[in-house]
Amino acid sequence: MGKSGNKIGILGGCFDPVHIGHLILGQYALNKFKLEKILFIPSNIPPHKKKTHISSYHRYNMLKLAVLDNPKFEVLRIEIKRTGVSYSYDTLKELIKKYPQTEFYFILGSDAFKEIGTWKNYSKLIKIAGFIVAGRENFDIKNPVDVKMEKLIMPKISISSSYLRKRVKDNKSIRYLMSDKTVDYINAYNLYR
């Protein structure tokens, strides 16, 4: 990682819903790479998925509740406010204006990183941001487009948003798989049923 300015991690996604895997990933990256903070950025319309299951309003609110007790985690609505399809390059351009003199690092899993060459304006994006790629011990990742990339070794966390949505639909407990405040929010608004 570079030495000039502040270093901020960007953790984007649908967060449909946010779960402990997202939070653990953010915390590991924060600690390992001595980042100033992690920006969680929920997408409005994800470019690589057909749809989200609930509105951006609810996904944003759940994310705010999930990170409430961590002063190093911040949730931004920039992709939701921008409307339309959410592209990382557009988001990064906005962040650079908001946080000048900052090094930005996208935090993502190795599967998503393999698809970097399909991202909008990826050739411009990789010149102005780095990537923290998470995987399990001894994971091997090829750098598909010669990106500034750091590896982050993570424990195996077999939780996904789709798994949680199914548990909610099947009326099974999701407690301890996400923050208690998020569980309460899902129940209060009868989401994913």
- Lowest-confidence segment of 2-6, 35-39, 123-127, 167-171 by average pLDDT: 2-6
CA-to-CA distance for 85 and 62, rounded, in angstroms?
21
175 part of a folded domain? no
pLDDT at 144: 66
Query: Edge-to-edge strands of the sheet including 130-135?
Result: 73-75, 37-42, 6-13, 102-109, 130-135, 149-153
150 part of a folded domain? yes
87 part of a folded domain? yes
Q: What per-residue string of b and e applies to 31-53 under the rule 16 or more CB within 10 Å gives b?
A: ebbebebbbbbbbbbbeeeeebe
Find the mean pLDDT for residues 73-100: 94
177 part of a folded domain? no
13 part of a folded domain? yes
pTM comes to 0.92
Residue, of 48 and 32, whose pLDDT is higher: 32
pLDDT in tens, 55-68: 999 999 999 999 99
Crossing angle (nearest 10°) for helices 180-188 and 56-66: 150
103 part of a folded domain? yes
Residue, of 2 and 25, whose pLDDT is higher: 25
Please give the residue range of the domain that contains residue 64. 6-161
Q: What percent of the chain has pLDDT over 90?
A: 74
Alpha helices for the chain (secondary structure H): 20-32, 56-66, 78-82, 88-98, 110-114, 122-128, 161-169, 180-188
Residue 67 sits in a domain of what CATH number? Answer: 3.40.50.620
pLDDT of 189 higher than 70: yes
Amino acid residing at 26: G
60 part of a folded domain? yes
pLDDT of 116 higher than 70: yes
Spatial CB neighbours of 188, under 8 Å, sequence gap ≥ 6: none
Among 48, 45, 72, 56, smallest CA distance to 18 is for 56
CA-to-CA distance for 168 and 187, rounded, in angstroms?
9
Find the mean pLDDT for residues 101-127: 90
18 part of a folded domain? yes
pLDDT of 2 higher than 50: no
User: pLDDT confidence of 1, banded at 50, 70, 90?
Assistant: very low
Query: How many domains is the chain partitioned into structurally?
Result: 1
pLDDT at 3: 43
